[in-house]
């Protein structure tokens, strides 16, 4: 059963751990907000239940102790201090390690003794359960975990006037027939009430697969002392510990009630409730699909799109009405299908960004710096395969920004900056790319320092140093083994490992660049392809060759008179809707044959990158098409302004233009 539900367990565990992480960060800033505590409690509670059901006892044990501390905070018996939140974060780290171990095929085992001890130390003094327990004279650990069904049984038993006991029975070490003693204990308990659960399970007890003690949970109308007395009446029983669980079960029941809305149900809320009820079935319709299956689906669909293009070409040549109508219908259907498949593969970058606030918090503490992380555009979507790869390099760049970029509070105040530094992490779409920007307001990078180091390492000569632009100088940071840091730390090094970061992004078809200004800060800009293998393009022709310009980069197309061209700073420009737009002649960029049509007009494709625009001058505009993006292979990885190629309906190959490379 476990393997059947393992994937679901792992996915949901990671979601709950992320939720606990996020809400703990919020709780640190708003310790009085009960709704945040409720959210953390809910996630921890669900995680505990799932872990226990799947048999991961260490996971369940640790989350159970976290729950106890959260309960204290919720009941205002403890404050969510930074120290408590630190321990909670450490607990979350251990839980993540256990979940990772399970995902890697392990059993999720981890020694959590010290963490549990720390959580219990926080818990001391509060424990309603402990005070209740003292009435039964002996105290045993609440190690038993109950699933939803067992909880329901216990709660209903309480309502019917029964008491709940957890009993630990210790057999004499000389007991010869342990299974027989177990049978006699169960017989006595059966007379006193009903056994709800045992640990180990009954079949293991029957097979004597336990040491000398076992736990049972019993409902009974008799007192704990009476039950204990009866069990001790059995021979070869060394000791019996009885603990009332009544308060514990009641507290659990109250927790459930507290999580429900407690205000009077207004009409508005009733309507909301109705909506929630209506929405519930939608949630149940969601399924999780292995990414490999989506890859196969995408590959098959790519073939379909190429064939569709071919069919469109043939129907256009034959001019058969029925064939044309059929192909048009097929095009509409495949268009819808394409949108669905692509959407299935897209995920918001939020799934990567979510891990950073916690990391920044820890780094700030370790380095005694004050850092505010601002995240913008977390909803920007990227292909799942890219999302999986960009996490580690982004971690490296962020650590780098904080370690070497952001100054200490004293250093910042000395130069008139606020004590708290800011790191802005933003993502946005532009054309057929996603840009991720890491911008800090720290000390910036010294151009001179970088140049001196590059000359010393024989990467460039002194003559080269005079001619390099700032962008080219800062690009030297990505050379293997390059570092300008006076002291290399284990946090990061500006240069130490940046070559690995660049390689990772480049392997994804991305580009990373750096801009920096002393005392103002630095910006790492990462350009990533959407890698959607099927894209909408505008086919254009220049010099007798066809090129595809991604539709997402195009603002509009236009025809302008040659007389409307001007020169500014040595470049041809036009006044387009009151804005000066530089022109890029595609035939010059790709060195295609110049064909003079004798016309007085230019065909333009106006493209955009961020807030910059440019006009691509082409011979003619062919029209909009869906194309399958194909890589140029390993031998043509750095062709300027070309991001791939495609096969058109007539079998001809067209190159796909990278508009972002053409806008300076």
3-state SS, one letter per residue, for 545-578:
EEEEEEHHHEEEEEEEEHHHEEEECCEEEEEECC
Which position among 16, 23, 45, 64 bears the catalytic label?
A: 45
Question: Which tens digit of pLDDT belongs to each residue from 146-203?
Answer: 777 777 788 788 777 788 888 888 888 777 778 888 888 888 888 888 888 888 888 7
> Is-catalytic flag, 503?
no
Q: Which residue would you say has higher pLDDT here, 543 or 135? A: 543
Of 21, 28, 65, 67, which residue is the catalytic one? 67
Whether 594 and 646 have beta carbons less than 8 Å apart is answered as: no
DSSP three-state, residue 408? coil
Burial of 543: CB neighbours in 10 Å, binned 0-12, 13-18, 19+: middle
Q: What is the mean pLDDT of residues 209-236?
A: 83
Sheet with strand 653-657: strands edge to edge: 620-628, 534-542, 545-550, 653-657, 642-647
Instruction: Give the whole-number percent of the chain exceeding pLDDT 90.
Output: 8
Q: How do beta strands 433-440 and 521-529 pair?
A: antiparallel
Helix (H, G, I), strand (E, B) or coil at 167: strand
Per-residue pLDDT band at 262 (split at 50, 70, 90):
very low
pLDDT in tens, 439-493: 999 888 888 888 888 888 788 888 877 888 888 888 888 887 676 555 545 444 4
Active-site annotation holds for 362: no
This prediction's pTM: 0.55
Residue 423: the pLDDT is: 93
Q: Picking from 55-64, 74-83, 189-198, 554-563, which range would have the lowest pLDDT averaged per residue?
A: 74-83
CA end-to-end distance (rounded Å), the chain: 58
- Let me know the angle formed at the C-alpha of 380 by 379 and 381, rounded to the nearest 5 degrees: 110
Do residues 479 and 459 touch, judged by C-beta distance below 8 A? yes
| CA 168 to each of CA 187, 205, 222: distance values in angstroms, whole numbers, following the listed order | 16, 14, 17
Q: What is the pLDDT of residue 2?
A: 53
**In sequence order, what are the residues at sequence separation of 6 or more whose Cβ sits closer than 8 angstroms to the Cβ of residue 50?**
9, 12, 13
Query: With 80 as the cut, is the pLDDT of residue 142 above it?
Result: no
Q: Which H or E run includes 316?
A: helix 291-318
Q: Is 67 part of the annotated catalytic residue set?
A: yes
Catalytic hit among 21, 68, 127, 400: 400
Output the average pLDDT for the chain: 80
């Amino acid at each position: 059963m476990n393997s059947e539900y393992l994937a679901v367990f792992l996915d949901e565990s990671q979601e709950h751990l992320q939720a606990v992480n996020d809400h703990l960060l919020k709780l640190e800033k708003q310790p009085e907000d009960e709704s945040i505590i409720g959210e953390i409690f809910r996630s921890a509670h669900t995680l505990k239940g799932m872990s226990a059901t799947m048999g991961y006892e260490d996971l369940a044990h640790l989350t159970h102790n976290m729950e106890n501390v959260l309960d204290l905070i919720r009941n205002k018996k403890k404050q969510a201090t930074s120290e408590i939140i630190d321990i909670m974060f450490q607990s979350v780290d251990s839980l993540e390690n256990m979940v990772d171990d399970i995902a890697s095929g392990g059993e999720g085992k981890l020694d959590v003794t010290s963490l549990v001890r720390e959580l219990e130390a926080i818990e001391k003094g509060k424990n309603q359960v402990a005070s209740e327990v003292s009435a039964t004279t002996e105290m045993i650990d609440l190690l038993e975990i109950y699933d939803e069904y067992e909880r329901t049984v216990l709660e209903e038993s309480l309502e019917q006037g029964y008491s709940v006991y957890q009993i630990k029975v210790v057999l004499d070490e000389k007991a010869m027939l342990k299974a027989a003693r177990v049978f006699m204990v169960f017989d006595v308990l059966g007379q006193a009430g009903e056994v709800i659960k045992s640990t180990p399970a009954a079949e293991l007890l029957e097979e004597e697969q336990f040491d000398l003690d076992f736990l049972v949970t019993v409902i009974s109308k008799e007192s704990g002392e009476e039950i204990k007395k009866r069990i001790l009446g059995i021979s070869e029983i060394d000791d019996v510990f009885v603990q009332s669980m009544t308060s514990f079960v009641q507290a659990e029941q109250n927790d459930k009630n507290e999580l429900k809305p407690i205000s009077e149900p207004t009409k508005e809320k009733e309507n909301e409730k109705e909506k929630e009820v209506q929405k519930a079935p939608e949630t149940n319709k969601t399924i999780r699909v292995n990414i490999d299956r989506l890859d196969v689906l995408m590959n098959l669909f790519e073939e379909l799109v190429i064939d569709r293009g071919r069919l469109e070409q043939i129907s256009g040549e034959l001019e058969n009405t029925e064939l044309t109508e059929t192909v048009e219908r097929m095009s509409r259907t495949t268009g819808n299908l394409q949108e669905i498949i692509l959407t299935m593969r897209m995920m918001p970058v939020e799934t990567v960004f979510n891990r950073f606030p916690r990391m920044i918090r820890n780094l700030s503490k370790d380095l005694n710096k004050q850092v505010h992380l601002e995240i913008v555009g977390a909803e920007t979507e990227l292909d799942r395969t890219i999302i999986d790869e960009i996490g580690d390099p982004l971690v490296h760049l962020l650590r780098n920004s904080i370690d070497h970029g952001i100054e200490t509070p004293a250093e910042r105040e000395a130069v008139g900056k606020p004590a708290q530094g800011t790191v802005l992490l933003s993502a946005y779409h532009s054309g057929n790319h996603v840009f991720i920007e890491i911008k800090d307001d720290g000390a910036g990078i010294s151009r001179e320092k970088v140049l001196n180091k590059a000359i010393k390492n024989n990467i460039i000569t002194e003559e080269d140093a005079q001619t390099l632009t700032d962008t080219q100088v800062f690009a030297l940071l990505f050379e293997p083994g390059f570092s300008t840091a006076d002291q290399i730390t284990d946090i990061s090094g500006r240069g130490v490992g940046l070559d690995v970061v660049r390689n990772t992004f480049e392997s994804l078809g991305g580009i990373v660049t750096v801009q920096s200004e002393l005392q103002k800060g630095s910006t790492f800009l990462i350009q990533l392809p959407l890698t959607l293998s099927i894209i909408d393009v505008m086919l254009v022709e220049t010099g007798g060759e066809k090129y595809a310009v991604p539709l997402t980069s195009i603002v509009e197309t236009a025809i302008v008179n040659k007389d409307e061209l001007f020169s500014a700073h040595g470049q041809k420009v036009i006044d387009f809707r009151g804005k000066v737009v530089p022109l890029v002649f595609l035939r010059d960029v790709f060195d295609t044959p110049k064909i003079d049509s004798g016309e007085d007009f230019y065909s333009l494709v106006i493209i955009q990158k961020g807030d910059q625009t440019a006009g691509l001058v082409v011979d003619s505009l062919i029209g909009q098409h869906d194309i399958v993006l194909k890589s140029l292979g390993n031998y043509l990885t750095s062709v300027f302004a070309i991001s791939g190629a495609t096969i058109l309906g007539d079998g001809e190959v067209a190159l796909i233009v990278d508009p972002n490379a053409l806008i300076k």
